[in-house]
A and B are shown apart, each in its own frame.
Chain A
Amino acid sequence: QVHLQESGPGLVKPSQTLSLTCTVSGGSVSSPNYYWSWIRQPAGKGLEWIGRIDLSGSTNYNPSLKSRVTISVDTSKNQFSLKLTSVTAADTAVYYCARGIAAAPVYSVDVWGQGTTVTVSS
């Protein structure tokens, strides 16, 4: 059973960089046909996809966040990470890491972390 766990600061100052890590257990970030995503939900709003990375290191980002987002994978630690620069209060949200399957018939996210709350405030 694959388990994902987010970690990182719960409070980030405006204009600084938000950094989160997702540790994968019970599976490998190097497994083929999977991709690794970050998704967030601001309070009172819907789910917002941030971006994803696959085994080859290929990334796709939400166009609305693309200029500020970097997702990377550390295979030696079985982790993947999110960096979001120049944060504002609008980036306050619950952040989820998640695993997606990129193989027929299941092109979707099948495993989610529990989520971690990040607040942007001085």
Chain B
Amino acid sequence: EIVLTQSPGTLSLSPGERATLSCRASQSVTSSYLAWYQHKPGQAPRLLIFGASGRATGIPDRFSGSGSGTDFTLTISRLEPEDFAVYYCQHYSNSLFGQGTKVEIK
């Protein structure tokens, strides 16, 4: 069973700063199946990145994904106020989510 571990648990940053979120798989996985989601309180989650690096429809280009094998990264180049949220990675093979990274305002 593939387990996804996200780090850090919480990232405290200021608007305009760069955010780098990590998702590590317990074994090498198909990058085509790796997705990232954004979740804000009171809202449904939103697909940000599919296939490790593809941006979903309507997602600003400040969001980017990269990685392969066991290590994947979500980068937000310059944080906007609306980007403070919890981010999850998920792999299609077993659909389990990572535990999430909360990006909070410093």
Contacts and interface: CB of A to CB of B under 8 A. Distances in A.
Given A96-B45, A107-B33, A107-B51, A60 B95 contact: yes
Interface of A: 37, 39, 41, 46-49, 52, 60, 62-63, 96, 100, 102, 104-110, 112-115
Given A63-B1, A115-B44, A108 B97 contact: no
Given A48-B97, A102-B92, A107-B35, 19 more contacts: A46-B97, A46-B98, A46-B99, A46-B100, A47-B88, A49-B90, A52-B95, A60-B95, A63-B1, A96-B44, A96-B45, A104-B32, A105-B50, A106-B51, A107-B32, A108-B33, A108-B35, A109-B47, A110-B56
29 contacts: A37-B95, A39-B45, A41-B39, A46-B88, A46-B97, A46-B98, A47-B37, A47-B39, A47-B45, A48-B97, A49-B96, A52-B95, A60-B94, A60-B95, A104-B51, A105-B50, A105-B54, A107-B92, A108-B33, A108-B47, A108-B92, A109-B35, A109-B45, A109-B47, A109-B90, A110-B47, A112-B44, A114-B44, A115-B44
Q: Is the interface of A mostly helix, strand, loop or mixed?
A: strand
Given A46-B88, A60-B94, A113-B44, A105 B51 contact: yes
B97 A47 contact: yes
A49 B98 CA distance: 10
Contacts, number: 67
Interface residues of B, number: 25
A52 B45 CA distance: 17
Nearest to A96: B44
Interface string B16-60: 000000000000000011010101000011110011001010000
B103 interface: no
B86 interface: yes
Contacts of B54: 105-106
Nearest to B94: A60
A18 to B, nearest CB: 20
Contacts of B92: 100, 102, 107-108
